[in-house]
Structure 1
Amino acid sequence: MFGTLVSLFRMVLKRSVNNLNLVAFTIIGLIVAVSLVASVPLYSDGIIEKLLRTRLDQPSTTGRLPGSVRIRHLEDQATPSRYEQFQTIDQFVLGNAEWVMSLPLKNMVRYQSSDTHLLQGVGEEVKTNPLASEAKYAYVSAMEGIENHIRFIEGGPLPPGPAPDNEVPIIVSSVAAEDLHLQLGEKYWYIGGDRFQPLVVTLKIVGIWEATEPNNTTFWLYHPEVMTNTLFTTERDLFDIVLPTLGNRVHEYSWYMIFDHSEIHSTNVDRVRGGLQFLETRVATVMPNTKIDLSPGDTLEEFSRRSFFLRILLFALSVPMLAVVLYYIAISLGMVIESQRSEIAVLKSRGASTLQVVFLYFIEGVINGGIAFIVGPIVGVAIAQLIGKTYGFLLFADRPPLPISFTEQVLQYSLLAAVLALIASLIPAVSAARHTIISYKQDVARSTRAPVWQRFFVDFLLLGVSVYGYQTLKTQQNILTFGAAGEIVVDPLMLLIPSVFIFALALIFLRVFPIVTAIGARISLWIGGASILLALRQISRTPNAYSPLVLLLTLTLALGAFSASAAHTIDRNFTERVRFGIPADLMLSEVWEFDEVESAYLEPPFSAHDVPGVLGAVRTRVFTAKPNIGRGVQKDVQILGIDRADFARISWWRNDFASRPLGALVNALSIHESAVVASPGFLQQYQVRIGDTVSLAFNQNLVDVRVVEVADLVPTLYPDKGYHFLANLDYLHDQLGLAPYDVWLKIDPTVRSRDVVDAIEENGVKIVRIRDSRTAINFGRTDPQRTGLFGILSIGFMVAAVLTVLGFFLYSFLSFQRRLLQMGILRAIGLSSRQLFVLLMFEQVFLIVLGIVAGTGFGVWASDLFIPFLQVSADAQGQVPKFIVETAWLDLGRIYVVLGAMLGVGLLIMVALLRQMKVYQAVKLGEQA
Structure 2
Amino acid sequence: MAILVMIFRKMLKNKWLELSLLFGLVLSVALVSSMPIYTEAILQRMLVKELENYQVSNGAYPLTHRTGIFLTGETPEENGKSAHEVDAYMQSASGKFNLPILQFVKERGTDTFNFVPVDKERVDATVKRNVDIVALDHFEDHVKLVDGKLPAKEPVNGVFEVLVIESALTQLKMVLGNEFVIEDERVKNPITIKPVGVVNSKDEHDLYWNTPLESYGRSFIMNYEAFEKYITDGKDITIRAGFWYFAMEYSRMNMQSIGSFIRTHQQIDNYVSNTFTSQAIKAPALGVISKYLDRQDQLRVMLWSLNVPVMIMLGFYLFMVSNLIIDRQKTEIAVLRSRGASRLQVLGSYVIEGLMLGAVAYAIGPYAGKMLTNMLGASSGFLEFVQRSALIVEVNATAYKYALYAVLFSLVMTLIPALLATRTTIVGHKQQMARMTKMSFWHKYFIDVLLLGIAIYGLQSFKRRMTDLQSLGLDSANFKVDPLLFLVPALFTLGLGLLLLRVYPLFVRLVYFIGRKLWPPSLYSTLIQVGRSSSQYSFLMVFLMITLATGLFSASAARTMNSNTLEKVKYKNGTDVILNVKWENDAPPPMMGGGDDMGAAEEEEPSAQTLPITGPKRVQYTEPPFQLYSELPGVAHAAKVFVKDDAVAQLGKASSKIKLMGVDTDDFGRTAYFKDRLLEHHFYDYLNLISTEPSAVLISRTMAEQMGLKEGDSFNLGWSNVAYKPFTVYGIVDYWPTFNPNPQAPPSGGKKPEPPKLVVGHLSYIQSALALEPYQVWIDLEDEPGAKVTFNEALNAKELPIESFVDTSYELSQAKNDPFQMAINGVMTLGFLISVVISFFGFLLYWVLSLNGRVLQYGILRAVGISFSQLIGMLITEQILTSGAAFLLGAGIGSVTSRLFVPLFQLSFNPTTQVPPFQVMFDPTDSMRLYLIVTIMILIGLCILGYLLSRIKIHQAVKLGED
Please indicate the TM-score interval, normalised by the length of the shorter structure.
0.7 to 0.9
- For residues 709-765 of structure 1, the C-alpha deviation after alignment (integer angstroms, 9 at most, x for no partner) is 322111112225732233333333443465544133142242331213434666786
Structure 2 counterpart of 1:561: 552
The Cα shift of 1:39 comes to: 3.5
Query: What does 1:360-379 correspond to in 2, within 5 Å?
Result: 360-373=349-362, 375-379=364-368
Query: What does 1:57-456 correspond to in 2, within 5 Å?
Result: 68-74=64-70, 86=82, 90=86, 93-94=89-90, 96-103=92-99, 108-111=104-107, 184-190=179-185, 203-208=190-195, 212-213=199-200, 222-223=211-212, 225-227=214-216, 252-258=241-247, 264=253, 268-287=257-276, 290=279, 292-294=281-283, 296-298=285-287, 309-349=298-338, 354-355=343-344, 357-373=346-362, 375-446=364-435, 448-453=437-442
The Cα shift of 1:573 comes to: 0.5
SS of equivalent residue, structure 1 residue 690: coil
Which region of structure 1 is more displaced relative to structure 2, 229-238 or 568-577?
229-238
Is contact 1:463–1:505 with CA below 8 Å preserved after alignment? yes
Which region of structure 1 is more displaced relative to structure 2, 293-302 or 568-577?
293-302
Which region of structure 1 is more displaced relative to structure 2, 800-809 or 786-795?
800-809
The Cα shift of 1:243 comes to: 8.8
* 1:791 to 2:791 alignment: no
* 1:578 to 2:600 alignment: no
Structure 2 counterpart of 1:848: 883
Structure 2 counterpart of 1:125: none
Structure 1 counterpart of 2:612: none
Structure 2 counterpart of 1:129: none
Is contact 2:149–2:197 with CA below 8 Å preserved after alignment? no
In structure 2, C-alpha distance between the alignment counterparts of 1:325 and 1:635, rounded to whole Å:
58
Distance 1:500 1:274, change over 3 A: farther
Structure 2 counterpart of 1:690: 711
Equivalent of 1:735 in 739, 757, 769? 769
Is contact 1:185–1:205 with CA below 8 Å preserved after alignment? yes
In structure 2, C-alpha distance between the alignment counterparts of 1:606 and 1:279, rounded to whole Å:
58
- For residues 483-525 of structure 1, the C-alpha deviation after alignment (integer angstroms, 9 at most, x for no partner) is 9999x97344543333233334334444545555555555555
Structure 1 counterpart of 2:785: 750
Distance 1:564 1:190, change over 3 A: farther
One-letter code aligned to 1:715? P
Structure 1 counterpart of 2:933: 898
Structure 1 counterpart of 2:698: 677
Equivalent of 1:621 in 642, 650, 665? 642
Is contact 1:348–1:436 with CA below 8 Å preserved after alignment? yes
SS of equivalent residue, structure 1 residue 710: strand
Which region of structure 1 is more displaced relative to structure 2, 28-37 or 286-295?
286-295
Distance 1:687 1:602, change over 3 A: closer
SS of equivalent residue, structure 1 residue 189: coil
In structure 2, C-alpha distance between the alignment counterparts of 1:748 and 1:522, rounded to whole Å:
62
Query: What does 1:857-872 correspond to in 2, within 5 Å?
Result: 857-871=892-906
The Cα shift of 1:567 comes to: 0.7
SS of equivalent residue, structure 2 residue 730: strand
One-letter code aligned to 1:546? Y
The Cα shift of 1:839 comes to: 4.4
In structure 2, C-alpha distance between the alignment counterparts of 1:401 and 1:920, rounded to whole Å:
58
* 1:705 to 2:727 alignment: yes
- For residues 226-269 of structure 1, the C-alpha deviation after alignment (integer angstroms, 9 at most, x for no partner) is 3566678658756875799xxxxx96443334556676566644
Is contact 1:580–1:652 with CA below 8 Å preserved after alignment? yes
In structure 1, C-alpha distance between the alignment counterparts of 2:778 and 2:830, rounded to whole Å:
42
Distance 1:190 1:836, change over 3 A: same
Equivalent of 1:774 in 805, 809, 831? 809
Identity of aligned residues (%): 27
Is contact 2:67–2:281 with CA below 8 Å preserved after alignment? yes
* 1:28 to 2:17 alignment: no
In structure 1, C-alpha distance between the alignment counterparts of 2:468 and 2:344, rounded to whole Å:
47
Is contact 1:621–1:641 with CA below 8 Å preserved after alignment? yes
Structure 2 counterpart of 1:538: 529
The Cα shift of 1:320 comes to: 1.8
State the aligned residue count.
Answer: 889
Distance 1:51 1:568, change over 3 A: closer
- For residues 541-571 of structure 1, the C-alpha deviation after alignment (integer angstroms, 9 at most, x for no partner) is 3332222122212222222222111111111
Gaps of 5+ in 2: 118-125, 588-618, 744-754
One-letter code aligned to 1:341? K
The Cα shift of 1:57 comes to: 8.5
In structure 1, C-alpha distance between the alignment counterparts of 2:848 and 2:936, rounded to whole Å:
17
In structure 2, C-alpha distance between the alignment counterparts of 1:149 and 1:563, rounded to whole Å:
54
Is contact 2:151–2:161 with CA below 8 Å preserved after alignment? no
One-letter code aligned to 1:96? S
The Cα shift of 1:176 comes to: 7.1
Is contact 1:620–1:744 with CA below 8 Å preserved after alignment? no
SS of equivalent residue, structure 1 residue 656: coil
The Cα shift of 1:702 comes to: 3.2
Gaps of 5+ in 1: 123-132, 192-199, 245-249
Is contact 1:69–1:258 with CA below 8 Å preserved after alignment? yes
Distance 1:640 1:796, change over 3 A: farther
The Cα shift of 1:368 comes to: 4.2
In structure 1, C-alpha distance between the alignment counterparts of 2:449 and 2:727, rounded to whole Å:
62
One-letter code aligned to 1:100? K
Is contact 1:478–1:869 with CA below 8 Å preserved after alignment? no
Is contact 1:587–1:745 with CA below 8 Å preserved after alignment? no
Which region of structure 1 is more displaced relative to structure 2, 524-533 or 717-726?
524-533
Which region of structure 1 is more displaced relative to structure 2, 897-906 or 44-53?
44-53
In structure 2, C-alpha distance between the alignment counterparts of 1:880 and 1:856, rounded to whole Å:
31
Distance 1:737 1:506, change over 3 A: same
SS of equivalent residue, structure 2 residue 737: coil
The Cα shift of 1:177 comes to: 8.9
SS of equivalent residue, structure 1 residue 634: strand
One-letter code aligned to 1:320? P
- For residues 412-446 of structure 1, the C-alpha deviation after alignment (integer angstroms, 9 at most, x for no partner) is 44454344434433332333344443332133345
In structure 1, C-alpha distance between the alignment counterparts of 2:813 and 2:208, rounded to whole Å:
40
SS of equivalent residue, structure 1 residue 886: coil
SS of equivalent residue, structure 2 residue 656: coil
Distance 1:67 1:783, change over 3 A: closer
In structure 2, C-alpha distance between the alignment counterparts of 1:680 and 1:259, rounded to whole Å:
53
The Cα shift of 1:660 comes to: 0.9
Is contact 2:649–2:655 with CA below 8 Å preserved after alignment? no
Which region of structure 1 is more displaced relative to structure 2, 737-746 or 797-806?
737-746
The Cα shift of 1:606 comes to: 2.7
Distance 1:769 1:530, change over 3 A: farther
In structure 1, C-alpha distance between the alignment counterparts of 2:293 and 2:320, rounded to whole Å:
39
One-letter code aligned to 2:811? A
Distance 1:927 1:9, change over 3 A: same
Is contact 1:71–1:254 with CA below 8 Å preserved after alignment? yes
Distance 1:773 1:296, change over 3 A: closer
In structure 1, C-alpha distance between the alignment counterparts of 2:318 and 2:469, rounded to whole Å:
32
